[in-house]
Structure 1
Amino acid sequence: MPAASAIKVMVVDDQSSMRAMIRRTLQDLGFKDVRDKPGAAEALDDVRTNRVHLIVSDYNMPDMDGLDFLRQVRADPVIGKTVFIMLTGTADAEVVKMAAEAGVNNYIIKPFSAAALKEKIERVFGELS
């Protein structure tokens, strides 16, 4: 049973209000090390040098979308096994299928509750303490 406080998280979303809401939700769940970036390229550079255990990324972002970001993470020999949860405003079956094929660990549709986010994280890490 991992302690949420021991899990390092990177939140990636181009909307600052959404990043703040996710960060607050994670902190309320007991996560202490929560960083965020407005874009996938910056986040990719950051997690390559300052590794995290969990990436929570939006799908629909300019420049590099969440699916391309996921593929870049999975292709990297150092960070390739990082847990990746994709957020999206749509339940488009094709996007879900492509994310699954690219190796996403879980998927959550916006808007979502703290309980839903916790449940998605616990499906990967096990029950949080």
Structure 2
Amino acid sequence: MADKELKFLVVDDFSTMRRIVRNLLKELGFNNVEEAEDGVDALNKLQAGGYGFVISDWNMPNMDGLELLKTIRADGAMSALPVLMVTAEAKKENIIAAAQAGASGYVVKPFYRRDAGGKTQQNL
């Protein structure tokens, strides 16, 4: 059974998408959710600590999701943090790049709630 107090960080440059993911997490029973607008903002929050799961978009200004993922995996303190990529990038090479960089899962937008929810729960 997943820890419902687990702290999530939802990273996306579109506030509507952040809200959709936040609501999905709420439906799954997770209320401890914070948001970041891009990879730089996310990294600053992650370095402060306390997060147990990251859900990130790929295409964002300043630092994209793939670069954020690589940075997380290279940091000893954060390297084991589950990172779910939720993105419109559906090309096979992008999915492979995310997997090679250490993504815990990959969901293509637009997504069904059961797909994103299932991938999230698989990685808890």
% same residue: 35
What are the within-5 Å matches in structure 2 for residues 92-111 of structure 1? 92-111=91-110
Q: Larger deviation: 108-117 or 31-40?
A: 108-117
Residues 11-58 of structure 1: CA distance to partner in whole angstroms, max 9, x if unpaired?
000001111111111112100110001111011110111321110000
Q: In 2, distance between residues paired with 1:54 and 1:100?
A: 17
Opposite residue 2 of structure 1, the aligned amino acid is A
Opposite residue 118 of structure 2, the aligned amino acid is E
The runs of 5 or more residues in structure 2 that have no matched partner are: none
Q: In 1, distance between residues paired with 2:81 and 2:111?
A: 22
> Counterpart of 2:123 in 1: which secondary structure?
helix
Q: TM-score, normalised by structure 1?
A: 0.91
C-alpha root-mean-square deviation of aligned residues, in Å?
1.0
Q: TM-score, normalised by structure 2?
A: 0.95
Report the counterpart of residue 67 of structure 1 in structure 2. 66
The runs of 5 or more residues in structure 1 that have no matched partner are: none
Report the counterpart of residue 34 of structure 2 in structure 1. 35
> Counterpart of 1:11 in 2: which secondary structure?
strand
* Counterpart contact for 1:12–1:40, Cα < 8 Å: yes
